[in-house]
């Protein structure tokens, strides 16, 4: 008596292979989802109450990052400028621009502008801007080519793997102190040579940079 | 439905519920500048209550009244702060022709005018602290010590535009 048709062998092989492959594919798919912009928010431009252009203010006008983000050298938080900072210039120029109406309204009503947050770390992560800029990590190393961004977006995935990537060997990214806020800095050809010297000069203890308590306190 | 399929369904839903739990990554507290329903104006960033003395306030008050000694380190600091906060309008050389002025901001007076060359340091300090004319106050962004550093650098800029050949050692011999 013939119980199985000749094709049954193929189906059985495929089924056995599928049972083996399913967990691998499932894990692979989960990883892809975890690292996708859907979860990390990488490269997603957000709609803001005012379409503020870093391209115009950084590349066009040449403003230093610290002109607006004034606490970046002193505090954990780099600082979102108060409305007065915008009005330092816009009380005199573009005073009737429709685009800037929310800024004027914020000043007259004494209500902060509700910007959409672009970079958000999980609450169990401790991060301090001041120590990074003091130790030669430049703005654009993490924030990308801000001077070419019309609307702000998160250039890096901000995953733990991405953080550790630098914490394991920061010398690949370190800059001399005067270049930290340079929006156009590129690693020089001899970075492999000067990087370790910079790390030593900044007293960076690479042996402890990947300790759990460095970021999870 | 059998007991086995029920229990596997339960396990699956438990596993999926794990994905929706953000209590670790978004903890029940306000982060810097976040919306905060607790306060009437809806923001976490609250103005300091009246009469608050912040840590380091006595030292800051002291810095306002006692200008630091001028040395190369102070001048470098002054140059850095000047380039960040002043150069957009006053220009890198202090002629009042910065980028924002080129874009339509009313031109500030040149530091090289007779009036500002003879103005005392306190005048510059007060202008940085309180603003002047169209210029806003920079007190929130430039600490008292940095204001003195900027003033020292402005003095250097003023000297650079009114220097004699005799002011630079051995320059005379290098000139054709």
For residue B165, the model assigns a pLDDT of 85
Is B146 domain-assigned?
Answer: yes
Angle value at C-alpha B52, between B46 and B57, nearest 5 degrees: 115
Please tell me the predicted confidence (pLDDT) of residue A2: 78
Instruction: Tell whether B41 lies on the interface with A, counting CB pairs under 8 A.
Output: yes
pLDDT of B172 reads 82
Residues from A in contact with B at Cβ < 8 Å: 61-64, 66-67, 70, 76-77, 80, 82, 84-85, 87-89, 91-93, 111-112, 114, 122-124
Print pLDDT tens along chain A (217 aa).
778 888 899 999 999 999 999 999 999 999 899 889 988 999 989 899 999 999 999 999 999 999 999 999 999 999 999 999 999 999 999 999 999 999 999 999 988 899 999 999 999 999 999 999 999 999 999 999 999 999 999 999 999 999 999 999 999 999 999 999 999 999 999 999 999 999 999 999 988 999 999 999 9
79-138 in B: which are within 8 Å (CB) of A?
83-85, 88, 99-100, 103-106, 134, 136
Q: What per-residue confidence (pLDDT) applies to B48? A: 87
Query: Quick check: is B25 in a domain?
Result: no
Question: Considering the domain boundaries, does residue A182 fall inside one?
Answer: yes
- B53 falls within a domain: no
Q: Is residue B43 part of a domain?
A: no
Conformation bin of residue A26: beta by default, left when phi > 0, alpha when psi is -120 to 50: alpha
Q: Please report the sign of the dihedral spanned by the C-alpha atoms of residue B60, residue B61, residue B62, residue B63.
A: positive
Range of the domain at B97: 69-164
B28 domain-assigned: no
Contact A77 B100 (CB under 8 A): no
* Separation between Cα atoms, residue A12 and residue B76, nearest integer Å: 77
Preferred mutation among A88, A115, A120 to probe B, highest tally of B CBs within 10 A: A88
**Looking at the partner chain, which of A61, A84, A123 has a beta carbon nearest the beta carbon of B27?**
A123
Separate counts of helices (H) and strands (E) for chain A: 11, 0
Q: Do A84 and B33 touch (CB under 8 A)?
A: no
Q: Look at residue A50 and tell me if it is in a domain.
A: no
pLDDT tens track for B89-101? 999 999 999 999 9
Count of domains forming chain B:
1
Identify the CATH number of the domain in which residue B134 sits: 1.10.760.10
pLDDT of residue B5: 73
In a domain, A202, yes or no: yes
User: A205: which DSSP letter?
Assistant: -
B105 within some domain: yes
Length of chain B: 176
Q: Which domain holds residue A29?
A: 8-35
R_g of chain A computed on alpha carbons? 24
With DSSP H G I counted as helix, E B as strand and the rest as coil, what are the percentages for chain B, rounded to 5? 50, 0, 45
Burial class of residue B115, CB neighbours in 10 A (0-12, 13-18, 19+): exposed
Contacts of B43 in chain A (CB under 8 A): 112
- Local structure of residue B104 (DSSP, 8 states): T
A65 phi and psi angles, rounded to 5 deg: -55, -35
Question: A122 to chain B: which residues are within 8 Å by CB?
Answer: 24-26
Dist. CA A163–CA A119, nearest whole Å: 14
- Domain count for chain A, please give it: 2
Residues of chain B with pLDDT under 50: none
Q: Of B51, B26, B31, nearest to B43 (Cα)? A: B31
| Distance of residue A68 Cα from the nearest chain B Cα, in angstroms | 9
> Is there a domain that residue B74 lies in?
yes
Query: What number of C-beta contacts closer than 8 Å exist between A and B?
Result: 56
Report yes or no on B76 lying in a domain.
Answer: yes
């Amino acid at each position: 008596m013939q119980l199985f048709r000749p094709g049954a062998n193929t189906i059985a092989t495929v089924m056995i292979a599928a049972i083996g492959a399913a967990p691998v594919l499932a894990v692979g798919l989960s990883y892809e989802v975890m690292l996708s912009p859907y979860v990390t928010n990488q490269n997603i431009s957000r709609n803001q109450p005012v379409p503020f252009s870093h391209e115009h203010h950084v590349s066009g006008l040449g403003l230093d990052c610290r002109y607006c983000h004034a606490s970046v050298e002193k505090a954990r938080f780099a600082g979102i400028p108060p409305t007065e900072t915008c009005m330092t210039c816009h009380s005199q120029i573009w005073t009737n621009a429709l685009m800037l109406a929310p800024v004027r309204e914020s000043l007259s009503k004494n209500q902060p502008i509700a910007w959409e947050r672009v970079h958000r770390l999980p609450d169990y992560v401790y991060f301090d801007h001041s120590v990074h800029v003091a130790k030669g990590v430049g703005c654009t190393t993490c924030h990308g080519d801000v001077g070419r961004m019309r609307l702000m977006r998160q250039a890096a995935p901000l995953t733990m793997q991405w953080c550790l990537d630098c914490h394991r060997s920061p010398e690949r990214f370190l800059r001399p102190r005067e270049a930290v806020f340079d929006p156009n800095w590129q690693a020089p050809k001899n970075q492999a040579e000067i990087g370790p010297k910079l790390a030593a000069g900044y007293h960076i203890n690479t042996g402890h940079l990947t300790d759990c308590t460095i970021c999870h306190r | 439905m059998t007991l086995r399929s029920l229990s596997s369904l339960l396990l699956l839903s438990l596993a999926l519920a794990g994905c929706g739990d953000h209590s670790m990554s978004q903890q029940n507290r306000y982060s810097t500048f976040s919306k905060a329903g607790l306060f009437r104006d809806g923001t976490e960033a609250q103005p300091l209550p009246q009469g608050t003395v912040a840590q380091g306030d006595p030292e800051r008050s002291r810095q306002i009244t006692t200008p630091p000694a001028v040395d190369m380190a102070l001048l470098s600091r002054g140059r850095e702060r000047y380039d960040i906060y002043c150069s957009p309008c006053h220009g890198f050389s202090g002629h009042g022709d910065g980028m924002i002025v080129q874009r339509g901001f009313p031109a500030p007076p040149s530091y090289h005018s007779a009036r500002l060359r003879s103005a005392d340091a306190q005048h510059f300090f007060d202008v940085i602290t309180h603003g002047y004319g169209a210029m806003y106050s920079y007190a929130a962004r430039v600490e008292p010590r940095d204001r003195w550093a900027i003033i020292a650098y402005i003095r250097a800029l003023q000297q650079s535009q009114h220097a004699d050949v005799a002011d630079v050692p051995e320059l005379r011999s290098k000139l054709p």
